[in-house]
Amino acid sequence: MHSVDARGKYMKDAQHWSDDKMMLYGRAHLKANSDKVRLILEPVLREDEGIYKCRVDFKKSPTRHYRIHLAVITPASKPVITDSKGIEVRNVSGLYDSGTPLTLICTVTQGKYSTDNHWQPPHVIDY
């Protein structure tokens, strides 16, 4: 939580108060000028995802509340291909007899939100 109290003074002279834990241990801070207060997260981490709330109190108007949901997209790991026995397959998958079944599994981990895995048959050119 971070509070800026500008009652009876200019925004540049406002009093600031913050809880270090709630301000993400120094990664979050506010920048205030005459008409805007900006929340700055540096750097944005996966655990920053969630609902952020802004409350504005006025002298002669009702308090206003605003909420946004911050979604943090986390890159997925490098794909790993394994065979049906769980053995990682690199460059060449081995020798297989014609007519026998083959299962190759492409696994991607650590990503947030959906990932699309596509298998492309040999001799297909991808532009």
Tokens at 108, concatenated: 């991607």
Residues in the chain predicted with pLDDT less than 70, given as ranges, are: 1-4, 11-12, 15-24, 34, 92-94, 112-118, 120-127
CA distance 11 to 32: 7
Tokens at 102, concatenated: 């083959």
26, 40 Cβ separation under 8 angstroms: no
Q: How is the chain split into domains, by residue range?
A: 2-70, 74-122
Q: pTM, whole model, 2 decimals?
A: 0.56
Q: What is the pLDDT of residues 7-23, one digit of tens each?
A: 777 766 776 666 655 56
CA atoms within 13 A on the CB side of 117: 13
Q: 92-101: string of b/e by CB count within 10 Å (b at 16+)? A: eeeeeeeeee
Distance of CA 17 to the CA centre of its chain: 27
Q: What is the pLDDT of residues 76-94, one digit of tens each?
A: 888 888 888 888 988 766 6
CA distance 9 to 20: 25
